[in-house]
């Protein structure tokens, strides 16, 4: 509820900011290409995801319907496979069948997939985007790269079924999975973010996973739950068409013997799971805000000409802008370290600063571009940090500290 209130406040501030821009005479100097790139980044990674998240809370049910959801709550890939057996058995079966476990989304793996896509290099363990089922990310995923091209791959995500939970109809399984085939890289139809485009025939991919596992180990059992869901054709989280016949194959891996995997050592910074894109973009915006404020302070201190960039902005006002920018950046760092109280305080500071600056701009016939830009950044940080993904990031840190 608190996040929703801050989001609504942020939406109102966006409308206020748009009114100021529309009713004032402004001249902007950035090149058209740079402006379009910045507009796309803000639209794709802040504006549209938050709008989709707000709408998803209205139309996406908060119970199992045989679909995973994205980190912003939009319906994702269909659940089209189940497994009986423990986690080591799944790792053993998938490895024998020639599948590669996907890397976690980290700084290192993210850089690796960018390099592989640009230079068309092979990356068999390229990370897959997170999808949620039962309110949790996939435990792990496996993939098979096609022709050494990271843009095309078979892949399947796995989620453990909660204790005591049964499928519709009273069926019991240990794991649920979603198998899809990535056919290319493109832009999401819902958020305009760069993502993999999924082939519509998810049943073909489901049957491919089953066939590859049973070919490698003929002792693997198989049963099917007919009419697990009504056959449907719909869109996934990237806007791609997916269709299924509603059948749920269940692989029986209980006969596979496999030793428990050794615990992973503590990962270095480059190998740790990255924060959600919303939170990373909030940090970039906060750093940009601090840089702009510092630049303005230096110009005033050196007695340089500010022109329209800083009309009628006094030294004390510059100090307040700099102090506010530094506070926002410091709070973002604490949020990155999974501080829940810091996230709430950061939203409150951004809201207060934006309201004060927009009120000053509304009363002034001339507009300081520095104040306009920094107030706009405060609004964007507010919208980004109030997202469910950012809240989940800090909540995971609190749960880890308690355990």
- Is the residue at 62 inside a domain? no
Residue 308 has pLDDT above 50, yes or no: no
Q: Give the pLDDT score at 206.
A: 94
Do 211 and 108 lie in one domain? The reply is yes
Do 137 and 265 lie in one domain? The reply is yes
- Is the residue at 63 inside a domain? no
Do 252 and 183 lie in one domain? The reply is yes
| Mean of all residue pLDDT scores within the chain | 79
Do 283 and 382 lie in one domain? The reply is yes
Do 175 and 85 lie in one domain? The reply is yes
- Is the residue at 148 inside a domain? yes
Do 196 and 239 lie in one domain? The reply is yes
Angle between helices 388-402 and 315-336 (to 10 degrees): 60
Under 8 Å between Cβ of 218 and 119: no
- Is the residue at 64 inside a domain? no
Average pLDDT over residues 154-174: 92
The fraction of the chain above a pLDDT of 70, given in percent, is 74
Say which range, 105-114, 117-126, 201-210, has the weakest mean pLDDT. 105-114
Residue 317 has pLDDT above 70, yes or no: no
Structural domain including 238 reads 72-269
Burial zone of 240 (CB within 10 Å; 0-12 exposed, 13-18 middle, 19+ buried): buried
Do 152 and 44 lie in one domain? The reply is no
Do 131 and 212 lie in one domain? The reply is yes
Q: Which of 269, 292, 318 is the last residue of a domain?
A: 269
Do 79 and 31 lie in one domain? The reply is no
Partnered with residue 153 across adjacent β-strands are 145, 182
Do 262 and 281 lie in one domain? The reply is no
The fraction of the chain above a pLDDT of 90, given in percent, is 25
Burial zone of 32 (CB within 10 Å; 0-12 exposed, 13-18 middle, 19+ buried): exposed
Do 345 and 364 lie in one domain? The reply is yes
- Is the residue at 78 inside a domain? yes
- Is the residue at 305 inside a domain? yes
- Is the residue at 61 inside a domain? no
Angle between helices 2-23 and 48-59 (to 10 degrees): 140
Do 255 and 285 lie in one domain? The reply is no
Q: Which of 269, 299, 325 is the last residue of a domain?
A: 269
Number of structural domains the chain divides into? 2
Q: Which of 220, 252, 269 is the last residue of a domain?
A: 269
């Amino acid at each position: 509820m608190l996040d929703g209130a801050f989001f609504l406040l942020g939406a109102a501030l966006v409308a206020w900011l748009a009114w100021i821009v529309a009713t004032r005479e402004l001249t902007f100097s950035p090149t058209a290409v740079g402006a379009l790139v910045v507009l796309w980044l803000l639209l794709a990674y802040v504006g549209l995801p938050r709008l989709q998240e707000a709408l998803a809370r209205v139309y996406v049910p908060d119970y199992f319907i045989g679909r995973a959801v994205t980190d912003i709550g939009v319906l994702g890939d269909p659940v089209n496979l189940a497994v009986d057996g423990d986690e080591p058995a799944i790792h053993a079966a998938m490895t024998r069948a020639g599948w590669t476990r996907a890397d976690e989304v980290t700084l290192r793996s993210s850089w690796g997939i960018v390099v592989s896509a640009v230079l068309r290099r092979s990356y068999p363990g390229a990370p897959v985007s997170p999808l949620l089922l039962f309110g949790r990310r996939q435990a792990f995923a496996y993939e098979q790269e096609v022709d050494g091209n990271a843009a095309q791959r078979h892949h399947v995500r796995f989620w453990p079924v909660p204790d005591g939970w049964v499928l519709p109809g009273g069926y019991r399984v240990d794991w649920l999975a979603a198998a899809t085939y990535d056919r290319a890289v493109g832009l999401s139809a819902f958020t305009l973010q760069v993502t993999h485009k999924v082939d519509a025939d998810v049943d073909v991919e489901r049957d491919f996973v089953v066939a590859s596992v049973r070919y490698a180990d003929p002792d693997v059992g198989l049963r099917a739950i007919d009419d697990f869901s009504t056959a449907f054709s719909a869109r996934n989280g990237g806007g791609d068409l997916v269709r299924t016949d509603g059948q749920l194959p269940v692989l029986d891996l209980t006969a596979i013997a496999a030793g428990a995997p050794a615990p992973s050592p503590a990962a270095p910074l480059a190998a740790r799971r990255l924060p959600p894109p919303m939170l990373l973009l909030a940090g970039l915006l906060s750093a940009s805000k601090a840089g702009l404020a510092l630049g303005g302070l230096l110009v005033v201190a050196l007695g340089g000409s500010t022109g329209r960039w800083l009309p009628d902005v006094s030294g004390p006002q510059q100090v307040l802008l700099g102090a506010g920018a530094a506070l926002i950046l410091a709070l973002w760092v604490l949020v990155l370290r999974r501080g829940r109280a810091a996230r709430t305080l950061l939203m409150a500071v951004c809201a207060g600063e934006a309201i004060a600056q927009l009120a000053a701009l509304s009363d002034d016939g001339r507009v300081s571009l520095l104040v306009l830009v920094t107030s706009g950044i405060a609004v964007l940080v507010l919208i980004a940090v109030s997202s469910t993904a950012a809240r989940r990031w800090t909540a995971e840190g609190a749960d880890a500290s308690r355990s």
